[in-house]
């Protein structure tokens, strides 16, 4: 169940990212979220969800996801309040790509630590 939800969330996150990248006319091939590393990490995370022995992996996934979302929203607000500027689409794409990298690289690590 958690593995299926992760795949759906990953698809949604990457589809949103693809839409944002196309809206600023950037080459998709030159960005890190389109690399092979992200695909491998998605597979590792999905398999880690499947082989989890301890209960509560779904709650852990939701807590990590919403925690990261809140941290990045607060980061965007604080940085742009300190800079006294309004974020444009390029800033949002940068922050979103950084969120995706932390999410897709950090979640397999958290799940592997949870298995130990």
pLDDT, one tens digit per residue, over 25-77 is 888 877 777 788 889 999 999 999 899 888 888 898 899 999 999 999 999 89
Domain ranges of the chain: 2-115
What is the mean pLDDT of the segment spanning 88-92? 88
Say how far apart CA 42 and CA 107 lie, in whole Å. 9
Say how far apart CA 27 and CA 61 lie, in whole Å. 31
pLDDT for the residue 44: 93
């Amino acid at each position: 169940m958690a593995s299926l939800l992760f795949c759906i969330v990953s698809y949604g996150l990457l589809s949103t990212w693809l839409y944002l990248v196309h809206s600023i006319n950037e080459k998709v091939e030159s960005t890190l979220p389109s690399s092979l590393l992200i695909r491998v990490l998605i597979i590792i995370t999905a398999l880690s969800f499947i082989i989890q022995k301890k209960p509560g992996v779904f709650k852990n996934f939701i807590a990590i996801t919403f925690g990261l979302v809140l941290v990045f929203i607060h980061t965007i607000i604080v940085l742009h309040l300190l800079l006294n500027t309004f974020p444009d689409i390029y800033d949002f794409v940068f922050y979103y790509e950084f969120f995706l990298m932390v999410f897709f690289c950090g979640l397999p690590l958290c799940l592997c630590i949870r298995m130990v």
